[in-house]
Amino acid sequence: MLSDPQQAELNDVRWLKSSGEVHDPDFRCFGNMGDSQGLEIVDVGANRGQSIVSFKAVLPDARIVAFEANAFFGPVLSEVATWYEGVAVFNVGLGRADHRAVLRVPVVDGRYYWEEGSIRSDSFEKPWVKARLASYGAKLQFEEYVVEIRRADSMLRDARADIVKIDVEGAELDVLSAMEDLLDRSRPLFMIENSDWHSVTAWLSERDYLCYQYLPDDNLLVPFSQACTNAFYLPAHYDGPLASIMRR
């Protein structure tokens, strides 16, 4: 049984599905992948399921394995998963080791901003995060919840990912650096909502990945060398289906 706030989140995602649209225009990039049969997507930080719906809008036959540590979204994601074939959801986060972590959720003037919860308390000290939360209202507080984190390489032992999307509010490098086995095995494309652009880009650069930004209006991936909301990382010698829209 969903609570009223959970039902409201589910209604938002249901509306997105009925519209046939994506929640973020950057997801249109993956429409250039062509036939999605056999594609596998790993979605880390699935939130209320909007990324699942957006991926399915452009890659309807892809399989998706989604992870979300925030238990508030667990029942919502479970319902979203029933809408599609080939979607599995896990109510855990991914990291370097199995452990429990404290998730801090901002509450502004009594309203919970569940989608901005983070296990990295230092992420709330970044100037742009402070400014965003200040724009929501006057009184900022935090609620804390214990969440489960599982070792990424263990959870993804059998995965052969073509695309990995990471949106974890400041813990990007913690997740990414725990995926060494998957990276070596699959050399996936990464879409990362970056709160830690410099560290993430340096880490992937050492593994022969290049950073791009997607321009939805032009349907182009262009080289990028500064922070942006969604950064795309492709192997340096990538020659797959997105090569046709890349500017090197």
pLDDT score at 246: 95
pLDDT in tens, 187-216: 999 999 877 788 899 999 999 999 999 999
Measured on CA atoms in the order 117, 120, 121, 124, is the torsion positive or negative?
negative
Strand order in the sheet with 140-151: 93-95, 140-151, 99-108, 111-112
Share of the chain above pLDDT 70, in %: 98
Span 10-37, average pLDDT: 96
* Nearest CA among 178, 54, 53, 71 for reference residue 117: 71
pLDDT score at 45: 96
Residue 169 has pLDDT above 90, yes or no: no
pLDDT in tens, 108-149: 999 999 999 999 888 899 888 899 999 999 999 999 999 999
Residue 226 has pLDDT above 70, yes or no: no
Lowest mean pLDDT among 13-22, 116-125, 231-240: 116-125
How many other β-carbons are positioned within 10 Å of the β-carbon of residue 247? 10
Span 233-237, average pLDDT: 95
* Domain chopping of the chain, boundaries: 4-245
Element (H, E) at 50: helix 50-58
pLDDT score at 60: 97
pLDDT score at 227: 62
Span 163-190, average pLDDT: 93
pLDDT score at 18: 97
Lowest mean pLDDT among 10-19, 81-90, 180-189, 193-202: 193-202
Share of the chain above pLDDT 90, in %: 87
CATH topology of domain 4-245: Rossmann fold (3.40.50)
Residue 172 has pLDDT above 80, yes or no: yes
C-beta of residue 221 within 8 angstroms of C-beta of residue 200: no
Mean per-residue pLDDT over the chain, rounded:
94
Q: pLDDT grade, residue 228 (50/70/90)?
A: low
C-beta of residue 36 within 8 angstroms of C-beta of residue 64: no
